[in-house]
Amino acid sequence: MMKVTDARLREPFISKSDLAFLILLCAVTSFGFLLIPQSQKAPAAGASITGSVRFSGAAPKLDRAKCISPEVCGKTHSYDRLVVGKNGGVEYTLVYIANPPAGKANFPAPTITQVDCGYTPHMAIASRGASVTFVNKDPVLHNVHGYYFIGNDRSTAFNFAQPTKDQSSDQQLRKAGMVNVECDAGHTWMSSWIWVTDNPYAAVTKADGSYSIDGLPPGTYTVVMWHEGWKTVDTQPGGRPVFSGAIVEQHQVTVPAGGGAITDFELK
């Protein structure tokens, strides 16, 4: 009987070219750390720029407004334009990064309360698109009028009355910019500010003048201080004072890898 052998059984299990490729592959994967650059991790975003805003010398004695509704508002009231605390710390000053790294603003939605015929807080930050809640804690009519404030140009952001105590109203702010809030019900001293922004790297100084801007990767940043100003330059019909323009100062600050930075500002 003739013996039949399948020709395929006589073929090599693997070709010489395939064997060479496998040897090369093993060498590359075994010593690949010498041949292939390792991926670079993004810089950690955990550093802070901290500091303070202080008034140099003795704080000036500012005029106070004579109040209507003295049984609620008192006989006189501060304009709250310059609030200087212990050791000269200036409260309600905005500090922000002018050249921020990528990020999205997600500030807590602010609540501004009308109490004793004043707005509290005097300065707040709101993410663009967020709503600001206004609450009237006074048993007197307030008319809340917010303006986008760009130089000497003003356009209305919202305008509504709150005639009763504990009345609340939410106002959405779809446009970025600085909003000045006044009261059109004869309370000419009432004023507050809301910075509406997409920039997550911003803070308002505390009662001691301190601030902290957190979550920054290493880099060089332009840190801007914005204060509304307090010097009276004119008076509008109806008795509302006109104040000097905002005071703006900026510093270049470098945040090193694995560390933070400090920069202080001074008003005088």
* 82: CB partners within 8 A, 6+ apart: 55, 59, 60, 62, 90, 230, 267
Stated pTM of the model: 0.81
pLDDT computed for residue 149 by the predictor? 85
Give me the domains of the chain, ranges plus CATH numbers. Answer: 47-267 (2.60.40.420)
Residue 15: pLDDT band (50, 70, 90) is low
For 47-76, what is each residue's pLDDT tens digit? 999 999 999 999 999 999 999 989 999 999
- Give me the phi and psi of 6, to 5 degrees please: -70, 125
Residue 3: pLDDT band (50, 70, 90) is very low
Taking CA atoms, 253 is separated from 46, 104, 136, 165, 195, in Å, by: 16, 21, 41, 46, 22
pLDDT computed for residue 20 by the predictor? 55
Closest CA to 160 of 140, 141, 138, 180: 141
To the nearest whole percent, how much of the chain has pLDDT over 70? Answer: 82
Q: Are 83 and 229 in contact (CB under 8 A)?
A: no
d(CA 96, CA 32): 45
For 127-146, what is each residue's pLDDT tens digit? 999 999 999 999 999 999 99
Residue 237: pLDDT band (50, 70, 90) is confident
| pLDDT over 60 at 9, yes or no | no
* 128: CB partners within 8 A, 6+ apart: 105, 173, 174, 175, 176, 196, 197, 198
| pLDDT over 80 at 200, yes or no | yes
pLDDT computed for residue 75 by the predictor? 95
pLDDT computed for residue 44 by the predictor? 55
Taking CA atoms, 17 is separated from 13, 32, 141, 181, in Å, by: 12, 21, 91, 79
